[in-house]
Amino acid sequence: MSSKDNLKAAFTGESMANRTYLAFAKKADDEGYSQIAKLFRAAAAAETVHALNHLQRMGGIGTTMDNLKEAINGETYEFESMYPKFIEEAKTEGDNRAQWSFEVANKVERIHAGLFEKALSEIGKNEEVDYYVCSVCGHTHEGKPESNCPVCGAPASKFEKID
């Protein structure tokens, strides 16, 4: 493999390690191991540095215009191809928990693609708006939600404002 491929593989590994340690930190806090939770958060922060170093060196960060286009492509792949296939396979297997996880993500990726497309079409004159994210399903909402999450049904109190 070339260093370019290796940077991609290392970026993947570091990205997964970061997310895994974040989950492990929450679990450690739940179990009362606050010091170990802190260590997992510290390691997660370090894996963020590694992931971003690798991403930068593999040329993975373009101009914001390019980055929006890449985001739209990625989201579109997920909601047109990846998640629909995964949802069908989960139905065939009768794996309801996996099916739910794929279905809500699928709906949210379509919304992300729309938000990125709007941002791209208005670039340089983007309207100021706050985003709120559903902590249950990831639904991404322009402005403060007044009612239940339209994707997963969670109450409006489950949304978190993004700064």
Q: Which of 73, 121, 126, 155 touches a second copy (CB under 8 A)?
A: 126
- Binding of a second copy at residue 140 (CB under 8 A)? yes
- Binding of a second copy at residue 129 (CB under 8 A)? yes
- Binding of a second copy at residue 72 (CB under 8 A)? no
- Binding of a second copy at residue 67 (CB under 8 A)? yes
Using CA of residue 74, residue 77, residue 78, residue 82, what is the dihedral sign?
Answer: negative
φ, ψ of residue 145 in degrees (nearest 5): -70, 140
Between CA 85 and CA 91 the distance in angstroms is 10
Q: Which of 72, 90, 145, 149 touches a second copy (CB under 8 A)?
A: 90
3-state secondary structure of 110: helix
- For residues 2 and 147, which CB has a smaller minimum distance to a second copy in the complex? 2
- For residues 22 and 154, which CB has a smaller minimum distance to Fe ion in the complex? 154
Tell me the β-bridge partners of 142.
131
Tell me the β-bridge partners of 161.
132
Tell me the β-bridge partners of 162.
131
- With 0-12 CB in 10 A as exposed, 13-18 as middle and 19+ as buried, what is 137? buried
Q: Which of 117, 138, 148, 150 touches a second copy (CB under 8 A)?
A: 138
Residue 147 CB, shortest distance to a second copy, in Å, is 19
- Binding of a second copy at residue 108 (CB under 8 A)? yes
Site string for a second copy, 10-49 (x = CB under 8 A): xxxxxxxxxxxxxxx--xx--x-x-xx-xxxxxx-xxxxx
Residue 104 CB, shortest distance to a second copy, in Å, is 8
Q: At what angle do helices 64-77 and 96-121 cross, to 10 degrees?
A: 150
